[in-house]
Amino acid sequence: MEEVLQLGDEVPEAALDSILEAQRPTQCCVLVYTSGTTGSPKGVMLSQDNITWTARYSSQAGDIQPAEVQQEVVVSYLPLSHIAAQIYDIWTGIQWGALVCFAEPDALKGSLVNTLREVEPTSHMGVPRVWEKIMERILEGAAQAGFLRRKMLLWAMSVTLEQNLNCPGSDLKPFTARLADYLVLAKVRQALGFARCQKSFYGAAPMAAETQRFFLGLDIRLYSGYGLSETSGPHFMSSPYNYRLHSAGRVVPGCRVKLVNEDADGVGEICLWGRTVFMGYLNMEDKTREAIDADGWLHTGDTGRLDADGFLYITGRLKELIITAGGENVPPVPIEEAVKSELPVVSNAMLIGDQRKFLSMLLTLKCALDPDTSEPTDNLTEQAVAFCQGLGSKATTVSEIVGRKDEAVYRAIEEGIQRVNMKAAARPYHIQKWAILDRDFSISGGELGPTMKLKRPAVLDKYRDLVDAFYREHKP
């Protein structure tokens, strides 16, 4: 720090004054490139006003406290090139005087938990995949624990989940819930590094209902933030005082929202307006005009509905919406979540069927990550092995299941998909073909973006031959 301060001594005050005087709220402050999940990355131009306004008011909506009230402590581990980390780690930290602790470079390869234990943040933000990995680690630990400890954890989580579902936000907890927390859950949270954490956030991608309920069972409420790079991050926020399960929260005060082209269920395209909305795309005036209409409304391409209290529920993306050859509009995410919920051995599920006669699906299995590279290995996770053993299968690797077409596992997956089909609204929503891939999705494999968001066009392109075979083999 002394060396940094000495660098400032070399710059004349007059030079600093001229730089400060030249600053304008409408000038571009930072470029954030979109992840390119639906096309080529675009340079999002965010102004000084975009950044400073969002850092102040969106973080207030998330109940982030100024240092004179409470010293917020956060761990920075996501790529700072992404808007979520930019706003949460850098600009909000500067705005409120947060203590920002930088994790090791291999944080996402397994060392993040060690940093969380050491730092004990008061506030933490993770993309859904990070929370899912924490959940899988807890489940694996529970599977290896003794009978009594496993039973104690399941009892404590069921008591706490029931309390949080029936009396959300209530500080008056029954004796059993307080006992469960004291005997079991407080120790689990401490082992995760969340002993002091009052606010746990997620964003950048949809989160499965199963994951949210799991953490509610640990008495960790996950607060959603919804926004885009084009809205400088969060335009909607949840907080301890502004929460509804499965909702993306309410619009940040000072911002506006409207839904266009609503259907009979009140679902329409989400359009946003306010000082969070970006200046435009770098050197892409045509793309900017496509995104922002003449009245300044940003068309997000996401679909959702608003309840009577203004809570937003995301239902999908217009570009992800599958329109079958028969003209049926099918949002893929609810069906994919239903499959993963029915089949705990499944890691990723991607629905296919755009301009096709029926729906099909690509599946990957839960596998252990290489501790050095964080790449998916061939070895199944403890949870996946337990699932297979429960079926009478001795498989411990993905290749054993896929290579030998393990009869017990394939039958169980087919039965799970049939259960999902039985709950579908109509036959066009049924999954008729599916395949298990021999490797889980990853960033390096090109299937996931930098925030673990599924890159559907990339997956379709990579497995085009397999997908085409679904429809060649189909006999009406």
Considering only 82-86, 369-373, 392-396, which range has the smallest mean pLDDT? 369-373
Rounded to whole angstroms, the Cα distance separating 366 from 441 reads 10
The answer, yes or no, to whether residue 22 has pLDDT greater than 50, is yes
Buried b (16+ CB within 10 A) or exposed e, 444-472: ebebbbbbbbbbbebbeebbeeebeebbe
**How do residues 184-240 score in pLDDT, each as one tens digit?**
899 999 999 999 999 999 887 778 788 889 999 999 999 998 999 999 989 999 988
Task: Determine contact, residues 37/205, Cβ cutoff 8 Å.
Answer: no
Task: Determine contact, residues 86/125, Cβ cutoff 8 Å.
Answer: no
Considering only 85-99, 138-152, 282-296, 421-435, which range has the smallest mean pLDDT? 138-152
Domain that holds residue 449: 322-473
The helix-helix angle for 382-391 and 407-422 (nearest 10°) equals 90
**How do residues 168-178 score in pLDDT, each as one tens digit?**
666 667 888 88
User: What are the structure tokens assigned to 122, written together?
Assistant: 């008061």
Going by C-beta distance under 8 Å and a sequence separation of 6 or more, which residues neighbour residue 452?
Answer: 127, 128, 129, 130, 204, 205, 443
**The pLDDT value given to residue 324:** 83
Task: Determine contact, residues 11/253, Cβ cutoff 8 Å.
Answer: no
The answer, yes or no, to whether residue 14 has pLDDT greater than 90, is yes
The answer, yes or no, to whether residue 35 has pLDDT greater than 70, is no
Task: Determine contact, residues 46/28, Cβ cutoff 8 Å.
Answer: yes
Neighbours of 358 (CB within 10 A): 20
Rounded to whole angstroms, the Cα distance separating 402 from 213 reads 31
Buried b (16+ CB within 10 A) or exposed e, 232-251: bbbbbbbbeebbbbebbbbb
User: What are the structure tokens assigned to 218, written together?
Assistant: 């640990």
Q: What is the total residue count of the chain?
A: 476
Q: What average pLDDT does this structure show over 38-64?
A: 88
Q: How many domains does the chain have?
A: 1
Rounded to whole angstroms, the Cα distance separating 224 from 249 reads 6
Name residue 199's beta-bridge partners. Answer: 123
**The pLDDT value given to residue 476:** 46
**The pLDDT value given to residue 32:** 92
Q: What average pLDDT does this structure show over 390-399?
A: 92
Residue 443 lies in a domain: yes
**How do residues 250-303 score in pLDDT, each as one tens digit?**
999 999 999 998 888 898 999 999 999 999 999 999 999 999 999 999 999 888
Name residue 165's beta-bridge partners. Answer: none
Q: Which pTM does this prediction carry?
A: 0.75
Q: What average pLDDT does this structure show over 450-466?
A: 85
The residue ranking higher by pLDDT, 462 or 317, is 462
Return phi, psi of residue 417, to 5°. -70, -35
**The pLDDT value given to residue 389:** 92
Over the chain, what is the mean pLDDT?
A: 88
Task: Determine contact, residues 412/405, Cβ cutoff 8 Å.
Answer: no
Q: How confident is the model at residue 37 (pLDDT cuts 50, 70, 90)?
A: low
Q: Name the percent of the chain lying above pLDDT 90.
A: 51
**How do residues 419-436 score in pLDDT, each as one tens digit?**
999 988 778 889 999 999
Burial class (CB in 10 A: 0-12, 13-18, 19+), 422: exposed
Task: Determine contact, residues 43/68, Cβ cutoff 8 Å.
Answer: no
Write the DSSP assignment of 137-160 as a string of letters.
Answer: HHHHHHHHS-HHHHHHHHHHHHHH
Residue 348 lies in a domain: yes
Q: What average pLDDT does this structure show over 445-451?
A: 81
The answer, yes or no, to whether residue 450 has pLDDT greater than 80, is no
Residue 248 lies in a domain: no
Residue 63 lies in a domain: no
Task: Report how far Cα 428 is from the mean position of its chain's Cα atoms.
Answer: 28
Rounded to whole angstroms, the Cα distance separating 317 from 340 reads 19
User: What are the structure tokens assigned to 394, written together?
Assistant: 């001795």
Residue 420 lies in a domain: yes
Residue 34 lies in a domain: no
Question: Which of these, 63, 56, 96, lies nearest to 241 by C-alpha position?
Answer: 63
Task: Determine contact, residues 180/160, Cβ cutoff 8 Å.
Answer: yes
Q: Name the percent of the chain lying above pLDDT 70.
A: 97
Task: Determine contact, residues 244/220, Cβ cutoff 8 Å.
Answer: no
Residue 29 lies in a domain: no
Rounded to whole angstroms, the Cα distance separating 224 from 367 reads 27
Residue 156 lies in a domain: no
Half-sphere exposure of 235 (CA within 13 A, CB side): 24
**The pLDDT value given to residue 242:** 86
Rounded to whole angstroms, the Cα distance separating 445 from 434 reads 21
Rounded to whole angstroms, the Cα distance separating 145 from 147 reads 7
Rounded to whole angstroms, the Cα distance separating 456 from 461 reads 9
| CATH number where 412 lies | 3.30.300.30
